[in-house]
Structure 1
């Protein structure tokens, strides 16, 4: 079972600024779209199907993003995602945008989500069978604070790129 899933994406020229770098907001779009694809391809459901079946969905309550290295138009990147924290109501997903060779981290995004019942308009405890399903995919990272994780990746990028 693969706990960290990834896809390759080509950066489109139309998503870049005049000097050919990916616009900041587009990082989010690429990363969130990749996560949605990962959920469908690797976990076997779409958010729409899950909502129809259960009446519940995960609502983002916080995003933290760090831009570590520019991404240029017409390059390919690897976008990976994994669940790094999970409790009865709240989970955290890490999404990385990496160079095609996966040596350089271009951006890191942490999304904190809450399990939410759309009928009652309140958060709920994730049902035990659902929690057990997602616990199988949990990957704990050493750094528990976003700033520490960013520091880790900046240091890793310097080592890889010889700076």
Structure 2
């Protein structure tokens, strides 16, 4: 399943170069992941019921084109691949013209919330990768 959200670049997200600060893209992608989880019926509460957490362990991001204040950006999120406890979600951020502004692969791991160790991915999450 691919999801998308649209946001407007706010003044507080602009750096001294007059474009979106690089760290804000990570936040945009986090919003996209949260939306993806919710649409997959895997809310924070659902994970907690399963005693499972998700931890981001690696982000490989490519900055392709600058974005400026007031622009509308669309953040697309989709599953790429999964392992035993790790999985990769891809994010693509596009501007209103459809130009790719940034993209990333985000690697996360499922953990036992009490033991704080990796555990096999719950079936509910694994199904999203088929």
The residue number in structure 2 matching 1:4 is 2
Q: Deviations over 1:61-99 (max 9, x none)?
A: 111111110001100011000110112211001111111
The residue number in structure 2 matching 1:36 is 34
The residue number in structure 2 matching 1:134 is 128
Q: Which one has the bigger strand percentage?
A: 2
Q: How many equivalent pairs are there?
A: 130
Q: Which one has the bigger helix percentage?
A: 1
Q: Greater CA radius of gyration, 1 or 2?
A: 1
Contact preservation (8 Å) 1:50, 1:57:
no
Contact preservation (8 Å) 1:68, 1:105:
yes
Q: TM-score, with normalisation over the residues of structure 2?
A: 0.91
Q: Per the alignment, do residues 101 and 61 of structure 1 end up closer, same or farther by CA in structure 2, a change over 3 Å counting?
A: same
The residue number in structure 2 matching 1:153 is none
Secondary structure of 2:66 counterpart: coil
Dislocated runs of 4+, deviation >4 Å: none
What 5-or-longer segments of structure 1 have no aligned partner? 137-163
Q: TM-score, with normalisation over the residues of structure 1?
A: 0.73
